[in-house]
Structure 1
């Protein structure tokens, strides 16, 4: 103990600690440093008599003040811990930490390099990336959406910003998105190396910046974190960009906090740490535990707070607490904001839906679940399921609760002798707290990605163990280095194998089924993956297995409906959607898809009801607004349709189908400039959208701008030469110029490509009539009506020809049908009146 005390006496105090506070805590510091960082055996415990503090007297207080004054004078000329060296720094020693940090980042990137061959998966990547037009790009519209949306629950504008940048660079190529995740993870490894080095140097009795052992131990700690297979889910899954991005800002905040301790002003010490913390919160709210982590570090190893609970809030310690107020305010604001966002989208469960007992049981289970996975990382798969029922008196929940209580009790009991134990346990617990289920968000009870921050402490502990081994003799040092290298190699191998699991949706869910054949979601998601590959029969077989395993699974019935609809078995698809709604009446996607099928079958009234149900359950569902708008437009309620189209675009500005539909509605109201503007916006957002381009050309033709119209029709045909609608529209533009023969050629080409295009039959009939070929014209009009009985223009044109030929009875019938379908057609009304008068006069 004397040797240890001598070493501690030579150790400079942290610049951020007041001399009086440091002097008061000197005894507890000596004991902990000797125990934790030297190879000497601990001294024999003192008896209670020896532990009793001597009574203070005025003379002893004066002596202590004099000694403290002398300590102040000595500290004034003592270098800080960061700059204290035993002698001149050699160039190799100066660059040794930098080289190791770069090596750590490089090794991390190399191990995770196979991620670049992976694609997107059908676990949120489809919602967030493939089917989400709103994040695509860095324009004002996209930026506004990123910073205001609660899409799927979390508020994560900075994560959306990086994904938008990926889209600007790579489009929808998964390579670019995985590359960004990979580089962020490599950067996290490097920053964690810097954090670990700063912490491990504080565990050294005589810190020297040219000592090679702390950097090597920090490199091992960083690799134990970055190469661990539990990191794969966060890195190989594009949706979890928020993990690696928030992790980077989190680590930069901790590093800035540690660096700032040697600085004088409050702003210099905390400005960067707070800025990085704010960025981390805007990437993923899981980092809200950072203020508690910093407080834990203040106890150990920073020793800015005393270990004795009775002295935690004394005057000397108050500045350490008060400086955390801005961090706490940021965390509380982000936590409240995040909870409101999750509740807005229905991602939270109330106490009635998820009781207090399951929450507590799941929390105990989660705290223990990751410990064996950290020590022995095998059996990893997506979406772990908690054992049922989730009750504290059932296995394994009572065992987990007992383990948590035992570990907590042991670390509290050894707090004074081994403060690192409780600090590590608190760090682990508070980092997991947001995802333990006490506030129930989503379906996952546990997940590999939840350990991205929580296991940093265990990696740091591994580095501390290696540092202790490096202080042994030559044999112990060599054995420690070999063992550390072996551990890194094994972790890298297991991670490479786990990365292959995330290659695509099929491999991801096949792996989950290998580990858990009764997985409630894996068979369903595998069926969906097979459906996306066009393997419809295999998908249906897998979805039926999912339903057999879980007969009340609304998800499985919903996806079965999607598969049957793709196969064209409409009746069975609608039955599957109805079954999904039977088990989950709030399944808004099932309402939407059932409504779409009903509309396609002409069951407009029921389709409208289900679209409205979908909107009621999820007001922010743009596709439901779009489907309802189409029904309203096609049933003559154009003003209501325009309102629904605008609502869809307000929710999802990149939804080109809504812009196209809005343009059609404007055109039907005769507001051609607004229609043209809407079609142009759709074409600008999606240049390959044939429907919007052909509609734009048609409106331009109706406005008399034939040259522009023909240019748009030609552009459409360059995209798809087999587009019958473009040939038909081009024919109409030519007809308006009086180029009848060319127009007839275009109409015939349209019908060759699509014989069921009623509009082309009608237009061709009109051109033939202009050439005096009335019999052929009548034949084309009748063909158009056979294909589309509710076609008012074809009824009107046929009625006109029949009237001219004297077939007044049939002509009157077609005029009546015209007026039924289009009550505002005044020429049809006048012609019908004339025929009826003629017929009545002839009688």
Structure 2
């Protein structure tokens, strides 16, 4: 992890490092060619998505622009998945290969931009390698549904490339290019809304625009003699980008309103406590990337001393890096990058039932790795005798991470292998039980799957999907009264669950209670007038009644 100036680097060094990053990353991720679809989200995104599975089409293009399917608005992600289907067919291999290609491209872009911004080759190379080979990023690459991660990160990094060109020679055309790349990132995944703040961090270091009286070229005739005024204009410069972020946030809140945990279920103090703890859990897994799981259940609660200790650590590190900002500005920049880019997904506004997720670290870890790489480089630079030992130590660390990544990829072979591992490394994982049950139901039938759903209910009785799947299994087994009980419990938790209403109507009809079945189908259509299965079932019921059957 040595610090070396570009001007003293042999001309072949950077191309050689890029080739090494590309080839080694491709080799590490070779096992993805054996991975299939998984039931968790892949069904909604590709596998059983009636629109995406048809490939690119004008109808699909219009659907992508207006759809809030899967509680997300990300048109470019939908279109990229449709393009995969058009190019490679309905098989998972093509999707996996494209995810890996984007990950490799992001690695190269990361090395390129940090080398250009800082003139530091070796820290940039190690930063890119940590990003490429860390096991926590397997989830973003090996999971087809997380195309939005690798795609949005690509546009995020292209925005940084465009922003560097704008900083070197400011013009409206170059600024519009920055906005264009940023827009594409937002259309891929709204998590990149923090990018304007990242650009302000880069203005502090490495660009140091706040120190340059001529930093604001677009503000013709404006005096920028004081640092205060320069920071003000740098902020004003980001306002159009912040406006795009605000629009994206509104769109996200609209489409995710059904997936958001209610304040009654997740009160603010609990969410704040989990936020503080989650930062430290992420840091712990970055240093010791073991026991990684596709789903981390929400804990029963955190002790106040744990929350206080974690909060003290975060505040203490932040204060230390702030104090060192003049001598080591890269530390406060990287630390702020890590903390800030996690804010949209840290749980202050809870979406889904997870307490944290490995996929959320794909962009934030760039800042964390930045702190490590540049801190080690600054320590080694005045001590030439340490160059070789640190280089060997870095190689060992990267090799271990690469090996752990290969192991982690293996867990993604199918739904059962993935969630069996999640169950083993977490405690009381109801989501793992549900997904294993769904997999078993398709391969062995409802009788074999039922115990998984019942275990999920025992872990979390108010889980809607566990109750719904238990109801579905009981219905397939002909145990209609028990199926109705579970459907009703699902509806108690989510009264707008049209599929549960429809299935309840079906089992009531099978039990001979046609009056209640009719009322249930009518309720379904009141909630969603376009829900065709309920309309068909109601029509069949009316036909039988008309025939006296």
CA-to-partner distance for each residue in 1:775-812, whole Å, 9 max, x for gaps?
A: xxxxxxxxxxxxxxx79xxxxxxxxxxxxxxxxxxxxx
Q: Which residue of 2 aligns with 1:670?
A: none
- The offset of 1:481, in angstroms, is 1.8
With over 3 angstroms needed to count, the CA separation of the structure-2 counterparts of 1:608 and 1:223, relative to structure 1, is: farther
- Cα distance in 2 between the residues matched to 1:174 and 1:600: 38
Query: Where do residues 361-760 of structure 1 align in structure 2 (5 Å cutoff)?
Result: 361-389=273-301, 394-465=304-375, 467-468=377-378, 471=381, 475-582=385-492, 584-599=494-509, 603-617=513-527, 619=528, 624-632=531-539, 635=542
User: Contact 1:596–1:627 at 8 Å: present in 2 too?
Assistant: no
Matched residue SS, 2:206:
coil
Deviation of residue 572 (structure 1)? 3.5
Q: In the aligned structure 2, how far is the partner of 1:226 from the partner of 1:192? A: 10
Which runs of 5 or more residues in structure 2 are unaligned?
213-223
Match of 2:57 in 1: 139
Change (3 A) 1:548 1:325: closer
Displacement of 1:232 in angstroms is 0.7
- How many residues are aligned here? 535
Give unmatched runs, 5+ long, in structure 1. 1-36, 40-80, 202-213, 637-789, 792-819, 823-843
State the partner residue of 2:29.
112
Separation of aligned partners in 2, 1:582 and 1:471: 63
Q: Could you tell me whether the CA contact under 8 Å between 1:111 and 1:496 is conserved in 2?
A: yes
What CA deviation, in whole Å up to 9, does each residue of 1:661-714 have, x standing for no partner?
xxxxxxxxxxxxxxxxxxxxxxxxxxxxxxxxxxxxxxxxxxxxxxxxxxxxxx
For the pair 1:294 / 2:199, whether they are aligned, the reply is yes
CA RMSD of aligned residues (A): 2.9
Would the alpha carbon gap of residues 200 and 487 (structure 1) be closer, same or farther in structure 2, given more than 3 Å must change?
Answer: farther
Q: 1:123 aligns with which of 26, 35, 40?
A: 40
1:264 deviates by: 4.1
Decide whether the 8 Å contact of 2:203 with 2:210 is kept in 1.
Answer: yes
Per the alignment, do residues 473 and 256 of structure 1 end up closer, same or farther by CA in structure 2, a change over 3 Å counting?
Answer: same
Pick from 7, 10, 16 the counterpart of residue 99 of structure 1: 16
Residue number in structure 1 paired with 2:138: 232
Q: Normalising to structure 1: TM-score of the pair?
A: 0.59
Give the Cα–Cα distance (whole angstroms) in 2 for the partners of residues 403 and 465 of structure 1. Answer: 19
Alpha-carbon offset, residue 347 of structure 1: 2.0
Residue number in structure 1 paired with 2:219:
none
* Alpha carbons of structure 1 residues 150 and 234: separation in structure 2 relative to 1, 3 Å: same
The residue aligned with 1:281 is: 186
- The 10-residue stretch of structure 1 (502-511 or 254-263) with the greater mean CA deviation from structure 2: 254-263
Query: What is residue 332 of structure 1 aligned with on the other side?
Result: 246
* Structure 2 residue 162 is the aligned partner of structure 1 residue 244: no
Deviation per CA, 1:697-735: give whole Å up to 9, x if none: xxxxxxxxxxxxxxxxxxxxxxxxxxxxxxxxxxxxxxx
2:196–2:242 CA contact under 8 A, matched in 1: yes
State how far apart, in whole Å, the 2-side matches of 1:317 and 1:569 are. Answer: 68
Whether contact under 8 Å (1:181, 1:238) holds in the other structure is yes
- The answer (yes or no) to whether the contact 2:525–2:534 under 8 Å persists in 1 is no
Q: Shift of the alpha carbon at 1:400?
A: 2.0
- Distance of aligned partners of 1:614 and 1:430 in 2 relative to their CA distance in 1, 3 Å threshold: farther
In the TM superposition, 1:71-220 aligns within 5 A as 93-135=10-52, 136-201=54-119, 214-220=120-126
Q: Check whether the contact 1:100–1:216 (CA below 8 A) recurs between aligned residues.
A: no
Give the whole-Å Cα distance in 2 for the aligned partners of 1:355 and 1:388.
13
Question: Looking at CA atoms only, which structure, 1 or 2, has the larger radius of gyration?
Answer: 1
Partner of 1:342: 256
Q: Distance in 1 between matches of 2:376 and 2:351?
A: 38
Contact in 1 for aligned 2:331/2:370 (Cα 8 Å): no
Q: Distance in 1 between matches of 2:370 and 2:432?
A: 35
Note if contact 2:411-2:421 (Cα within 8 Å) is conserved in structure 1: yes
C-alpha change, 1:287 and 1:583, in structure 2 (3 Å) is closer
* Range with bigger deviation, 423-432 or 347-356: 347-356
Structure 1 residue 315 displacement after superposition: 3.7
| Distance change >3 Å, CA 95–CA 463, structure 1 → 2 | same
- With 97-106 and 470-479 compared, the bigger mean Cα shift is at 470-479
Per-residue deviation, 1:113: 1.6
Q: 1:398 to 1:388 in 2, by over 3 A?
A: farther
Deviation at 1:535, TM superposition (A): 4.4
TM-aligned CA distance change 1:317 to 1:586, over 3 Å = closer
Q: Highest relative contact order (Cα 8 Å, sep 6+), 1 or 2?
A: 2
Is the 8 Å Cα contact of residues 196 and 460 (structure 1) preserved in structure 2? no
Distance 1:199 1:507 in 2: 42
